[in-house]
Amino acid sequence: QLQLVEFGGGSVQPGGSLRLSCVASGSISSLSVMGWYRQAPGKQRELVAAFTSADTTNYADFARGRFTISRNNAGNTVYLQMNSLKPEDMAVYSCNVLNYYINITYWGKGALVTVSS
């Protein structure tokens, strides 16, 4: 049973920055990919950024150039650096891990990010 916990949510002014962390309890299979999603009120959950099985990265159009996904060497922590934040970035940001070998997805509870002046 893999458990994920997000840290670093909070309130920031437009143009500001925030760094989210996702810490996994237990090891993550090498046959897994990690990513960040978000869900704003009244909207569907959408991809923000994710690693691929080839260890490349995918970014949503709104995130490319502003957000950066990374991970630690141990592979148990995933980060999302968010710069130049806009009010439309306000959402609950959730970390996920997909074990594509057994087709199981794990989700964190989410971290609230608000952007207001």
pLDDT(28) > 90: no
The 3-class SS string of 8-74 reads: CCEEECCCCCEEEEEEEECCCCCCEEEEEEEECCCCCCEEEEEECCCCCEEECCCCCCCEEEEECCC
pLDDT(70) > 90: yes
Tens digits of per-residue pLDDT, 71-90? 999 889 999 999 999 999 99
